[in-house]
Each structure stands twice: as structure tokens, then as C-alpha cells.
Structure 1
């Protein structure tokens, strides 16, 4: 690798670990409490992140590592969210998490493979340009993007490693990828699955909640965040909870959250009426250190920063959130496609129930149940439907709805996204599982992990790291092991979590069957910040990139329909536009500029 690249790395990554031979191996900045390392002879093993394994554990387990295939055996059973890094006789083994909460990317520098947990690091290191095609795909008004587009790196020559795959780097700098995780068929009934979920979720929370520790936690009143709070209290943490009080008529969170807070031992409850917060879309002109890709969470950035500051003021240095619960606990409706082939009568009862609740047309319901298209055919067709309007109330589709681009997207944007879909189809992109039900669950879980990683980045910028225990590998795997028909139905709400938390969370909270939204606050914020939103059409970076039409943007951002809920891809527009502006303002990632006082050399544990 060129010396100037190594010099750039060293100047911003003061911690390092060499191969046993002395060759450069790892450079970075990692907090001591999220790093465990062991070495023996020519073998090195490390975990970076939130992990149940200590340096002492790794030292013992390293005894069984003779070759790279032994690495996964050495870390088997570990809980948490972490990267695995190993060097055996100069051969490197690197991987993130099974569902993308911990990401991994690679690029090539002078013929040598370089990997990083952040795509931005590699883009900065190689001065890579943003991939306009990937940017155009992020304008889709249908979320999420289909596999394999979802989670792709946003820069040219920077590549995302698929969740569940590891990178093996040879001594000559070449690399290959290898699958290290495979899903098993969902087989557990509800009762058995609930016991397993209780155990792994309890362990996931215990990794973050220490006895006597002041711990910040979101407490929305929903089942997910409430369950985490009760588990954290059980672990002995001193909770400081944050609850948002919505004025939206019929919103029940403001009743359930206080009910839960009153029953959390030794906790302090902070309640934030929305009217007293900055609101959605506040601070659009303030530039932030961007994440690895655009995300809709930017709309609430000012709100989350306000909450983080309040929790830090109370002494919290970590914040739990319930993100991912919906995605891992509730399978997409595509489970019906698999179920109808195994248990036809049960599937038809479920389909009738969902059809009544969601007002699905009968023909669309029948197509979803009996659709025989391959994933290849579906991907191929998706490229020709990018200009079709997204349905206001989308019907069911066994593979998903497919991306749609807003009217203000240029023909060039459509061409670029169609090209990505055509390329994926031409490369015979396979579904994540043979059955559409499991494919949908896996894709949904990966999306949860992807967004959790973005939350983690944004929370670090706000100086209060956020953790999403529902996105830990062990937790997601426990949910996926349960039969889909036992985890959802038209007549129950999150039965798996309710059964898992029985005896830990009060029954009244587990019997809740509703999920609230903040519609009133959303529309109020649109009216309040409409001028700021309209200003985005001026000197738009998306227009400069050639994927947004300037006049089309102006029409959308000045349209009265914006205030009535017809947002025309507003969230996607905001996410992509602000991401580009943030990138321009922060060419050097902020996480590479830790103050001198925080820099320290690595002192590995050896034997």
C-alpha cells in the first residue's frame, strides 16, 4: 500500500495493531470498553463493539484457532453487537454482524484490499466520488429498496460486504468473501420461542445496563421500548427515561408511558411535550457530520438532539432505544405466501383477516398468495415500473412493492436506477431465502440493522451513544426461529414479545394492541418550517447531480398539497439533499478527529 495512504491513516487513526509479522493490520479509534483482544503465536483475535466476550475469554478460545475456519467457533455464543477481527499466519478474517447493525466495507488501494466499518472512511481515504446511481435509488418513495440494492455503498469503488458474509484478506492483499451465517427454517412454536427471546433479550440489555449505572432510555409507551426499560431496571440500572407527549387526538402513548414509568423502580421520568421541542424539520440549515448514507431520521434530528442533551444533563452516558422491534417481531405479510402452501386453511383465515383490516382488493390478495414469479423476474420487471405512482394504500405483494421514483426525479435518475435493477437481475441476484416469507423477514431484519447503525452514528454526533438491543444478532435470530404464523395475526399484536415479557412487564402494558403516530406534530412542523423546506430548491445538490429537476422541486416544495399529507417523496428528498450538503461541509469524518487527550496506543492482552 502506498506510503501516503498509510500516513493519512496513521494521522487520523492513532490506535493500531500489527500482524504477528509486524505488517500493518488494524488502524482505528475504539473506546477501551468496546474492545477485547488476544494473541498467541501468529494468531490474533479481537472483537470490537458491544460484546459479552472479554479479553480473557478470547485468550482461552484462541487456543482452538488453528486456521481461519476456526474463528467462528471461537466466538460462538457471544452476545451483543460487534465486529470480529482475526489474523492467522498473516491471513485476515473480518466480519460485521449477521443483519448489518455492524457494517463492513472494502475497497482496493494499490492492489491491496482495505476494509473499514464505515464507507465514509474508505471514501475519504481514496477520495472516491459519490455514486450517482445509488443516490438516485435513495429517492425511491417506496421503502425499503429491494435486495441487493438495499445497503449498497454510496461511493464508487467502495463496496458493502453483505450482512452474514466475512472478508478474507490474503497476505498478497487479494480478498474473497465467505458466508459465515445462514438462517435456519423457522420452527419453534410461540411458547418455546418466547422463552428463548426472553433469555437473549435479557442478556442483550444486561450488556448495556450495569447495576447502579445511570442509563438513558426511550420510553414511548409502546411494547418495545417499555420491555427494554423493565429489563434494564431488572439489571439494576438507574433509569432516566424520555417520553414524548403528543397532542394528536387518540394518541395513547401519553397514557401508557406514564403508567410504565410509575412502575419502574428507582427511575426518573422526563416528559417532553412536542410543543416545547424544536419540532420536525428544525435546523435544516445546520450542517452535521453525515452517516454512510441518506436517511429519513434527519427530519427529527433536532428533536433527538434535545432529548440526548437532557439525558446527558441527568448523568446518562448511554441511551437505549426500542428501534428494530417492529421489524424483527412482526413479519411482513409475505409470510402468507409460504403459509398457504403448508397450512392452507390457516393461511386463508389470516389472509381474510388482513384483507379486512387493510382493505386489500380481492384480486391483489389472490395474486399475493398464489404468485409464482421468480425473484429474477420480479427484479427485471421492477426496472420498468419506476415511474408508476406509489399507491397511497399499497396492496400486498409477495416479493415487495418495488421502488418508485417521484415526479421530480429526472429521466437520468430513472435510467440509473433501472440500470442497477437490471444489473442485479443479470447477475442472477437470489432472494435471501427460498421461501418468500423468510426472505421478507430477513430483508426486514437487515433494514432494521442498517437503520440502527445510522442511529448509532447520529447519536455519537450528539455525544450520547444510542444502542438498539432488538438489532443484536442473537435477538433477531431468536425472533426468526419462531414460526411466522405464531408471531403475528390480524387479531393479536406482538404475541411473541408479550409472551417473552410475561412476568417482567405489567400485564396492562403487554395487552396493548395499538401503535401510535404523531400526525398532528408532523403537519404542524411542515407549516412551521415550510419556508426552510422551500429554500432547499435553491442551489440544490440533487439538481447539480442531475437526478432532480429544479422546476419539479420548486413545484413540490411550494405546493399547498405539502401541508395536506401529499408529500411527493419529501422525506427522501430531505434525506438525500441534506446528506449531500453535509458531505460537502464535512469532507473529513468527525469520528477521525478525536481530541489528542483521548488518543492512546493499544495495549493488547497477550499470553
Structure 2
């Protein structure tokens, strides 16, 4: 699903042949035609047109008010959901992007015509689908360099519009970008209660519009909270949510599975178990990964991810699936918070929290202080990556300065994750299910970043804000949980099984582009599979990017109408 538009100083417009105008006479504003009605809301009044794409809690009366008066900038996060607002009037087009970047918008200007769309893959068809080599190189070196880039996309010439901004596209082709949101601390509030209110609204927004909603139910805080909140809402209405727990075939207890089983008895929740075999291990079925806006987070886990979605749609008729993605970045206090405490004049507490963090993680003070410094600086280069000339790209967190170090850490982690998750949603669409990640919703992000530094829990505590928000709903054992589950063993096992195939695929598109030293990278992959390296990132990153490049070569052809003339790309 996508939407977009075009305009510029030259008369004319362009749109995909497969698109439909949002209004019958709006050839310069279009969508893919397959949006659910509740995720595509439009209104027209007095020559002003407003459209909202994505899950949004705006009412009809509120939508009409946006067309009847000046549009307030806080509508980017005024209602529950992850959505983009587009307003057309006599001056041009205005776009309000969501805070969580979960509904990303891109822009491309060619031959005097500016085209924007919610899919960079779609826009890149106007530009030959040329990948951006700087973006690829940065991804191979360090995820923070590529994922947090504020403007550069994965396609040459296609730019990202920043989250939490207002973008104006004047009729003369002028593009203006202005920030409409910054994180602000709010003192004297019951922040756990506010988080619970926003989570309730985000979940209700999804399940009330779905025929058969489902959710991940891993046994962790984030997905379990979504399932239990949905069950509380649906049970009085004689409905239920499908809570899906995946597990290795033959293994039904231990670790996260015990937490999931205990929480799964809640009324209104239908707990289902999906056993996974060796065919669902990481690095399997990479040839089935479709082309997306950027390498999807689930690329190396595609076999498991797609199997789960197909199974939920086929066996349970599910049409909407929620995940807990984003919860860790929002709810785990980052170590940079210790520096914020010191700056706020809380040196004694900073020392105490540092000592507690070192004790819980079984690290020395020296290691903890080193991790604080490392959190603000990029990793060193990978010797197997052949660097290309590149321009310095500002990270997205710089768009929202001034903010505290802990706020900056959350923005750097959560907003890029929200955008990359859109690629997972594109894969889910091919499985027949709408994928939703409520923790990337604008109001939830705004709520979590409003907790003042002095009220934040220390990094040694495990998501106390969530534990308090879910008090009375989490089972007691889950509420006492202090650690997160680890799936690294599955990834090492999957890599060993797929090693011959992975070794062969490395001499592919990345090598042809001159971006990697194949013999060196193969040694890294072999060492990692043998357990000689604890860093999976180099392997998973290289495999994900190579898989994405291969999928681009098998992409479907896009035909565009350009100034009333068909052009095939």
C-alpha cells in the first residue's frame, strides 16, 4: 500500500498507472487503491482537501475541522495511531509526518517535477532503481550510520522526509521543511498511567477495525502487554485476540515460553502455539524475500516471519497482526542517562546507578564508563568493507535538538526502527496481513520521552515504567522479570546450516559494486559460524543487503503516466 503526489513549476503531473486519484479530479494526488477504509480518511470543504493515511483515531468531525480552519501542527501526534496527514489547498500541498517514522514519506525531483510517495521503491522506479552506495557502505560498517540518516534513502536521488515535520510543496516547486515536534519533559505527572492510557488507545484502534486480530506473544513485556490489553478490551464484547507464541519444534517450556504460558490464560485471549522446524531457521528462504523500500529487519529470519503470518491468515483467518517491536528502545533506559544525571546535579545518584548497573551486568566501572562513551560515537570500520566517497549525513536525532542524552538515545534507536519496520509491513502485505507496531505510534513516543531525567529509572532496572503501567494485568512472575530473552543461539545455528549457501552468495551484487573484499568477508562469516566471533552484525548486515539487492533485480515493472504520456521504467 502506498500514496503520493506530484507537482512543480512545469505544468503536468506523474502517477503510477496502477494508482487511483484520491479525489476524481486530483491526478496529482493518488494512492494504490488497496487501503482499508479505516486507514484512508478524506474530507473536502471550501476548496480545502485533507487526507489521513494509516491507523488514526481522528473522528469525522475532527477531520472536517481540519479542512475548515488553519491546520494545527500538533495533529501529527494529536490522535492515537501511526499516520500521515496531507492537506491540499490553493497554495499547494502540505504533509505532516508522524513522529515514529512508521509511515515514512520520500521525495524525488526529476525534470522539473517533484514527486513524493510513501514508498521509496516506488519512487526509485522513476530513477532506474539505482541503490545509494554511501547508504549501503554505512550499513555494512555500522547500523547507526545508515539507519539514522535523516534525509538519505537507500536509492540514489530519493530523499526521506524527516519525522515529526511539516513539509510544504508549493505550486511553484518550492519545498519547505519545518519541525513541528520536540521532546519535552513533563513534570508532576503519573507517567506509568499515561503510558497505559496511550497503549490502551493504540491497541483499541487496531483491534476494533480488524475482523480477526492477532499479536506476537513471546513472553516478553512488550508483546504480552499488547495481547493482555486487547483481551481486556475484547472479552466484554465477546471477541478475542489470537496470541501467537512461536517455539522450536519439540520445545514447549523454559525461558520465555514459561512466561507466555502463564500470561496466556487471560479471558479474551486465545493462546496458540506455532512449532518451527529447521526449515524456518535464520538464513533460510532468502530467495523468497521480496523487494522493499530498504533491507527489512526480518530479512535473515524471513522463513520464520513469513511462515507465522501465512499460518495466522490460513488457520485463524487473521487480518491484522501486532508486534512488540520498538518497546526495547522506548522502555529500556540507556546508559547515556547516567551522564544526564550528572549534568542535572545528581552526582550521588549517578554514582549509585552506575554501581548498580555494573553489578547487574557483572562489569567493572571502567567498562560501564567506556560503554557510555561508546554510545555516542560510531563503531570503527570493518576491514572487509571497501569505502566509497560520501557526504556527511546528519543523524535524525540532530533534528530535535536540544534534548538530553537519554532522549537522543531513544530517538536514535526508535525512529529509524519505526521506518525500517515499514519494510516488514510490506512483506506482511504479501502474506495477506496488516502488520502493526504500536510502540512506534506518535503519542506513545511523545509520552515516553516526556519522563523527566530525575524520574527515569536507572538502566539496571528492567522496564519499570511498563511494569507499573501494567500493574494488575501482568502475571506476578512476569512483572518481576529482570532480563530479556536472547535468540542469538538460533542465529548461530541457522548460519552454520546455511554456511555453504551464504558463502556463495557473498560473491554477488555487493562484490560487483566493489563494496566488499569477498575473501575477507568469507573469513569473517566462517569465523562467526564457528563461534570464534560474538558479533553477528557483520554477517547479518551483509546478507540482508545482498538479499535486498537481489530482490531489486526481480522487482515488478512500474508504469507511470507522465504529463498524460505513458513511460515504462
| TM-score interval, smaller chain | 0.7 to 0.9
CA contact (8 A) 1:48 1:83 kept: yes
SS at match of 2:293: coil
Spell out, residue by residue over 1:528-577, the C-alpha distance to the aligned partner (whole angstroms, 9 max, x if none): 21222122133x100111111122233334x2542316247101111111
Q: Distance in 1 between matches of 2:210 and 2:22?
A: 33
Change (3 A) 1:254 1:91: same
Unaligned runs of 5+ in 2: 1-6, 561-569
Aligned to 1:601: none
Runs (5+) with no aligned partner, structure 1: 369-394, 593-607
Deviation at 1:176, TM superposition (A): 1.1
Equivalences for residues 521-560 of structure 1 within 5 A = 521-538=490-507, 540-557=508-525, 559-560=526-527
Deviation at 1:252, TM superposition (A): 1.2
Per-residue CA deviation, residues 461-518 of structure 1 (Å, 9 max, x unaligned), is 2221211111101111111111345443255211101111112333332221121112
Tell me, yes or no, if structure 1 residue 25 matches structure 2 residue 29: yes
Q: Which residue of 2 aligns with 1:130?
A: 131
| 1:223 pairs with 2:221 | yes
1:349 to 352, 355, 358: 352
Alpha-carbon separation, structure 1, partners of 2:210 and 2:555: 38
Counterpart of 1:50? Answer: 55
Residue 159 of structure 1: CA displacement?
0.8
- Equivalent-residue separation in structure 2 for 1:288 and 1:224 (angstroms): 27
Q: 1:288 to 1:210 in 2, by over 3 A?
A: same
Distance 1:167 1:28 in 2: 22
2:255 to 252, 257, 267: 252
Q: How far is 1:33 from its partner?
A: 2.4
Contact 1:399/1:436, CA 8 A, preserved across alignment: no
TM (norm. structure 1) is 0.82
TM-score of the pair, normalised by structure 2? 0.87
Q: Give distance in 1, aligned partners of 2:188 and 2:546.
A: 44
- CA separation of 1:537 and 1:215: change in aligned 2, threshold 3 A: same
* Matching of residues 328-343 of structure 1 within 5 Å: 328-342=330-344, 343=346
Asked if the contact 1:330–1:487 (Cα under 8 Å) also holds between the matched residues in 2, the reply is no
Aligned to 1:294: 295
Contact 1:333 / 1:396 at 8 angstroms: preserved in 2? yes
Question: C-alpha root-mean-square deviation of aligned residues, in Å?
Answer: 3.1
Q: Kindly state the Cα deviation for residue 158 of structure 1 after the two structures are TM-superposed.
A: 0.9
Q: Aligned equivalents of 1:446 and 1:568: distance in 2?
A: 20
Over residues 422-470 of structure 1, what are the superposed CA-to-partner deviations in whole Å (9 max), with x where a residue is unaligned? x659xx9677434322211221221331233232222112221211111
C-alpha distance 498-158 of structure 1, shift in aligned 2 (>3 A):
same
How many Å apart are 1:23 and its aligned residue? 6.6
Deviation at 1:55, TM superposition (A): 3.7
Distance 2:491 2:558 in 1: 31
Residue deviations 1:100-125 (CA, integer Å, cap 9, x gap): 11111111133232211111111112
Task: State whether residues 112 and 173 of structure 1, in contact with CA within 8 Å, keep that contact through their aligned partners in structure 2.
Answer: yes
Name the structure 2 match of 1:272. Answer: 274
CA, structure 1 residues 535+212, in 2 after alignment: closer, same or farther (shift >3 Å)?
closer
Question: What secondary structure sits across from 2:41 in the alignment?
Answer: strand
Residue number in structure 2 paired with 1:193:
191
Determine if contact 1:217/1:320 at 8 Å carries over to the other structure. Answer: yes
SS at match of 2:318: coil
Deviation at 1:254, TM superposition (A): 1.3
* Pairs aligned (count): 544
